Amino acid sequence: MARVYLETSFISACVSDRSDIGSVYRREVSLAWWNHEGPRHRLFASDEVVTELSDRRFARSDAAMALIADVPIIGVTADMVALAEALVRAKAMPRPVAGDALHVAMATVPEMEYMLTWNVRHLANPNNVEHVTGVCREFGLVPPRILRPDDMMEMNDE
């Protein structure tokens, strides 16, 4: 049973009511992963995820929070903030320290094996893996594999 960090974009996709083709695809794949793969893993979210999902500008906040009601929430620590700051300083993650950099840190410090996200610009970006890994290794840590839900389902089908 792998430890999987659920990043905000994954949870948001699960509850999205958008009707464009990309949003529908992300919702269907995310819900398929949640229903079929989720029970096979130990799932976690974080204070940063809760903060982002609770933003008053996010119309589906109640549905998102209900979805993760039984998911353990990881609290932020000084080590996580230090790693997030280092990721931003090294330009492995964009500013601010909150957001993407903190998600990586909150999945890395507690030794998650995977991070599930739809953020391919900064998180599930294969061009960034080596840079993120290098910064994490300076802290004696190994980052999780950062994957989109469809990539993780394909991996599990092999």
The answer to whether residue 157 scores a pLDDT higher than 60 is no
Distance CA 146, CA 120 (A): 9
Q: Stretch 17-44: mean pLDDT, rounded?
A: 96
pLDDT > 70: percent of the chain: 97
What is the pTM (predicted TM-score) of this model?
0.94
- The pLDDT tens digits of the residues spanning 83-136 come to 999 999 999 998 888 889 999 999 999 999 999 999 988 888 888 888 999 999
Classify 145 as helix, strand or coil.
Answer: strand
CATH architecture group of domain 3-157: 3-Layer(aba) Sandwich (3.40)
